[in-house]
Homo-oligomer: A and B are copies of this chain.
Amino acid sequence: MGRKRSAKPTSFDIAYRAGVSQPTVSRALRGSKSVSEATRLRIQEIARELNYSVDKNASSLRSQRSNTIALLFFEDPTPDGANINPFFLAMLGSITRATANRGLDLLISFQKMEDHWHTRYQDSHRADGLILLGYGDYTLYESRLKQLVASETEFVRWGSVRDDNIGATVGSDNVGAGRLAGEHLIAQGRRRIAFLGQADEHYPEFADRYRGLGAALEQASLPIDPLLQRDALSSEGDGRAAVQALLAAGVQFDAIFAASDLIAIGAMRALGEMGKNVPRDVAVIGFDDIPAASLTSPPLTTISQDLNSAGELLVESLLAGIEERPKPSKVIPAKLVVRGSTGG
């Protein structure tokens, strides 16, 4: 037999000792007001003594509510699949806190964007709702999102907040953040600001950031030169390549606004290799404020997204959907973090 049969106590055991019925135990422990104070205290005391804990499966089965949220990471399939975007990893902390505060369990999965999510998580009652995290080509997963909507799966995702979003969306104020970055660089006397990142609508968040930069330039009556925009997806390699392309094209620039810190780091590295000094020759500003951002030399000026609010809002918004309450606002302001890479 090996294993002890110490018979995990059930609500019946408690009921017996308390001299009440099982339903009363259930009610007492859930704080129903149709149990007297005295009885509740007695029951709670016994529960503590017996080291009782509600069986999650029975509870969820009966109540049709799992009090669990599934956090799903999806990204464009990477070759190794090992490295997760550090920004989302950081968000993990904030989301776990938000769920823990509400007594929710958090299920996580890194599986690629699939069309079976609603089956795997919602239909099977594993989770009451999904949080979707990931960059990636928007158009690629649009159809999946529609499927989720069609199957009435509750979900929220992190991304660019638009009026025509499919499903609930929470995200940073990317346009405002782009403007912040632009204004900062302009205030430093920079005039020719390169933007490294996809600027098309397949990557709405990046596009928003670029748009914000444009707004800042416009406000300062500076021209927007399309030659200064170079595609870069998210890796260091992309950033490096983009800088090399810029230099090879002979385009003049005195600043770089990278759509992510990884891109920025790659860019700085390429600049260094080409004999350019940061920030003297070229100021660099990134986005996300990943841990490595403060470790580069010079340390990277960047935009910091409010992760605490992010997790909180994602969870709150999801819960609101599940409980059919009105949803909270969904755009979160971002903050400029000035470090060495933009001078000063």
CA distance A125 to B61 in the complex (A): 13
B119 touches A53 (CB 8 A): yes
A324 is an interface residue with CB less than 8 A from chain B: yes
B93 touches A82 (CB 8 A): yes
Residues of chain B within 8 A (CB-CB) of A4 are: 152
A111 is an interface residue with CB less than 8 A from chain B: yes
Of chain B, the residue at the smallest CB distance from A54 is: B124
B123 touches A96 (CB 8 A): no
A109 touches B125 (CB 8 A): no
Of chain B, the residue at the smallest CB distance from A60 is: B57
B108 touches A96 (CB 8 A): yes
A123 touches B8 (CB 8 A): yes
A31 is an interface residue with CB less than 8 A from chain B: no
Q: How far is the CB of A107 from chain B (nearest CB, A)?
A: 6
Against B, the Cβ 8 Å flags (1 = close, 0 = not) of A234-274 are 00000000000000000000000000000001000000000
CA distance A107 to B71 in the complex (A): 10
Q: How far is the CB of A102 from chain B (nearest CB, A)?
A: 13
B120 touches A53 (CB 8 A): yes
Q: How far is the CB of A254 from chain B (nearest CB, A)?
A: 23
Chain A interface residue count: which class? 35 or more
A124 touches B55 (CB 8 A): yes
CA distance A296 to B296 in the complex (A): 6
B125 touches A55 (CB 8 A): yes
Known: A61-B61, A83-B291, A86-B291. A100 touches B111 (CB 8 A): yes
Known: A61-B57, A123-B51, A297-B297. A109 touches B89 (CB 8 A): no
A58 is an interface residue with CB less than 8 A from chain B: yes
CA distance A308 to B111 in the complex (A): 16
Of chain B, the residue at the smallest CB distance from A65 is: B57
A66 is an interface residue with CB less than 8 A from chain B: yes
Known: A2-B324, A57-B57, A96-B110. A105 touches B126 (CB 8 A): yes
CA distance A61 to B63 in the complex (A): 13
Against B, the Cβ 8 Å flags (1 = close, 0 = not) of A288-329 are 000110011100000000011000000000000000100000
CA distance A324 to B2 in the complex (A): 9
A220 is an interface residue with CB less than 8 A from chain B: no
Of chain B, the residue at the smallest CB distance from A266 is: B295
Residues of chain B within 8 A (CB-CB) of A83 are: 93, 291
CA distance A57 to B55 in the complex (A): 10
Residues of chain B within 8 A (CB-CB) of A55 are: 61, 124-125
Residues of chain B within 8 A (CB-CB) of A89 are: 89, 92
A33 is an interface residue with CB less than 8 A from chain B: no
A30 is an interface residue with CB less than 8 A from chain B: no
15 residue pairs of the A-B complex, CB under 8 angstroms, read A3-B152, A4-B152, A53-B120, A55-B125, A56-B126, A57-B60, A82-B94, A82-B307, A83-B291, A89-B92, A105-B107, A106-B109, A108-B108, A296-B297, A297-B297
